[in-house]
């Protein structure tokens, strides 16, 4: 991936020790950012100690509308480096409304294997999915969830039973209620 000069400058600015400058840069990113700086934003979320910067980055990530950003989210959520950000990153997935249907097994694994708060956010991503998922994938995931139900906590059992109720009925198109 080739990064243009403007994106390099933004990435450099995000590494500043001046929190006001970083916040100003984040404001500019909101107006004219691109997917090339997504990994830099996730690094900033991980590295900063400033709550206002974390909040600003999370707001940006939860408003992304570029479908090409999805693999970067999945990579960050799967990366142990970002363990402390996993819950927030998964929450951004359902908040930004991008389509994660091809990652259904990934999110089901999060529901099964992660702590309850991350599992709940992953459940919400699945609940908001739309689009055709292959029957073979659905069948395999139903078996996996059913197996996980045999050996889980009461809290997780609630989520897993919920998954069994929704994964066979993922809508073809997003349904918006006015």
**Alpha-carbon distances, residue 20 vs 41, 53, 60 (angstroms):** 16, 9, 17
Q: How many residues in the chain? A: 178
Local confidence pLDDT in tens for the 178 residues of the chain: 566 788 888 888 888 889 998 888 888 887 655 667 889 999 999 999 999 999 999 999 999 888 988 999 999 999 999 999 999 999 999 999 899 999 999 999 999 999 999 999 999 999 999 999 999 999 999 999 999 999 999 999 999 999 999 998 888 876 554 4
Place of tokens 């139900």: 149
pTM attached to this predicted model = 0.88
In the chain, what is the straight-line distance between the N-terminal and C-terminal CA atoms, in Å? Answer: 40
Cα–Cα distance measured from residue 13 to residue 25, given in angstroms and rounded to the nearest whole number:
7
Q: What is the Rg, in whole angstroms, of the alpha carbon atoms belonging to the chain? A: 18
Positive or negative, the Cα torsion across 134, 140, 143, 147? negative
Answer yes or no: are the C-beta atoms of 70 and 100 closer than 8 Å.
yes
DSSP 21-78: HHHHHHHHHHHH--GGGHHHHHHHHHH---HHHHHHHHHHHHT---GGGHHHHHHHHH
């Amino acid at each position: 991936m080739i990064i243009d000069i403007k994106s390099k400058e933004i990435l450099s600015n995000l590494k500043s020790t001046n929190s006001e400058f970083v916040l100003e840069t984040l404001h500019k990113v909101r107006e004219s950012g691109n997917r090339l700086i997504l990994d830099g934003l996730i690094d900033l979320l991980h590295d900063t100690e400033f709550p206002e910067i974390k909040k600003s980055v999370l707001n940006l990530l939860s408003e992304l509308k570029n479908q090409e950003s999805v693999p970067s989210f999945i990579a960050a959520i799967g990366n142990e480096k970002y363990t402390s950000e996993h819950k927030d990153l998964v929450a951004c997935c359902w908040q930004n409304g991008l389509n994660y249907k091809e990652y259904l097994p990934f999110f089901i694994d999060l529901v099964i294997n992660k702590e309850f708060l991350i599992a709940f956010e992953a459940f919400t991503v699945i609940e908001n999915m739309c689009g055709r998922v292959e029957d073979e994938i659905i069948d395999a995931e139903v078996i996996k969830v059913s197996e996980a139900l045999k050996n889980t906590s009461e809290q997780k059992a609630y989520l897993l039973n919920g998954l069994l109720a929704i994964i066979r009925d993922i809508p073809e198109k997003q349904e918006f209620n006015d």
